[in-house]
Amino acid sequence: MRTVGVEEELLVVDAAGRPTPRGPAALRVAASRGEGETVGEHDHGGPGEGGDAAGARLVPELKAQQVEFGTRVCERLDDVAAEVRHWRQRADAAARAVGARVAALASSPVAVEPVTTPGERYALMTETFGLTALEQLTCGCHVHVSVDGDEEGVAVLDRIRVWLPVLTALSANSPFWLGRDSGHASYRAQAWGRWPSAGPTEPFGSAEGYHGVVEQLLASGTIVDAGMVYFDARLSERWPTVEVRTADVLLHAEHAVVLAGLVRGLVETAAREWRAGHPAPRVRSELLRVAGWRASRSGLDGELVHPASGRPAPAAAVVAALLDHVGEALVACGDDARVRAGVADLVRGGTGAAFQRRVHRETGELAAVVRAAVTATRV
């Protein structure tokens, strides 16, 4: 059984529904309870590098209006669900202690001035990348799945890349950007794509090929360290896992569990294909970038680019193709019923983006969207 772990980034918000830079204060509370790290302790890390394969904890993120947690390593989706719910609750408890709450929103619906978390690395990133770093108040969900070494890991990366835009569509939870409707279901995907090392990649072919690309990125002097290898999916620096990074943080905990099951299914399917000698799909990264843009724009409410044909198809049909692709692996992992039910719920009931827009239509207030998300985050 391949193990799985989840990292989630959460917005820290005040009672009025505005993001507030009380994340570091909340983390000091968590650290005093043995549940987290302070900003100084985590300054060696970077955005999307929270969590610990041995033990979960709360950690800082690039912006002071955020906190992040990482679950423990899990074998069963029941355990993933318990971990996600537990750490969402602990993050909220720490935020409450400093007069705030947390919300599983991938961008801020209301206008806000992002505040960079104190620390040498975050300061260097802000100095180096200007507005890209200054404006980067986004929250993602990253899923780690175990692999048997770098060769298997790279074989997996080369085979799952064509399906990653579908995960963006399923997780879309950032329709508003700093006070206005972006026109996208996942505007976080657009904002995140501004980092120079973010996005889809060409097939690497081997572990040597992968590490060679990373070395060339570092040698360019453009990214500050290896933690800024922001590929849509990458090998973890710290653990023997593949890390899939394309998803928005999902509004409901159960949908984060479903995402974890889908990613494990993709990894297991890809590893089986590699062992059987099936070649990786030869789809260029330019086409994957277009597919990712389409998924970011419409989520599940329009057409997506079908990985098999490269042509537009209804989102429900592309999602069904993903389930068919990973079906055997879902059954083997015992995840089939739960993942299919969760995906059906997303297709039928809508993503977090649909929820946010619905609340906004009903209330006319973007702050009301945030307050509704605070409640939904704990469900």
Angle, helix 366-377 to helix 352-363, in steps of 10 degrees? 130
- Give one word for 291, left, alpha or beta, with left for phi > 0 and alpha for psi -120 to 50: alpha
What is the C-alpha to C-alpha distance for residues 260 and 249, in angstroms, rounded to an integer?
A: 12
- Please report the pLDDT score of residue 166 as a whole number: 98
Radius of gyration of the chain (CA): 19
Give Cα separations from 187 to 108, 133, 134 (angstroms).
10, 16, 16
- Please report the pLDDT score of residue 80 as a whole number: 98
- Please report the pLDDT score of residue 56 as a whole number: 64
* Segments making up each domain of the chain, as ranges: 4-377
Match 């702050």 to its residue by tokens. 367
Phi first, then psi, for residue 350 (nearest 5°) are: 100, 160
- Please report the pLDDT score of residue 378 as a whole number: 87
- At residue 27, the 3 state secondary structure works out as helix
What is the C-alpha to C-alpha distance for residues 135 and 141, in angstroms, rounded to an integer?
A: 19
- Please report the pLDDT score of residue 38 as a whole number: 78
Assign domain 4-377 one CATH number from 3.40.50.1370, 3.40.50.12660, 3.30.590.20, 3.90.1720.10.
3.30.590.20
- Please report the pLDDT score of residue 178 as a whole number: 87
pLDDT (tens, 9 = 90+) of the chain, 379 residues, equals 899 999 999 999 999 999 999 999 999 999 999 998 876 655 544 333 444 434 569 999 999 999 999 999 999 999 999 999 999 999 999 999 999 999 999 999 999 999 999 999 999 999 999 999 999 999 999 999 999 999 999 999 999 999 999 999 999 999 999 899 999 999 999 999 999 999 999 999 999 999 999 999 999 999 999 999 999 999 999 999 999 999 999 999 999 999 999 999 999 999 999 999 999 999 999 999 999 999 999 999 999 999 999 999 999 999 999 999 999 999 999 999 999 999 999 999 999 999 999 999 999 999 999 999 999 998 7
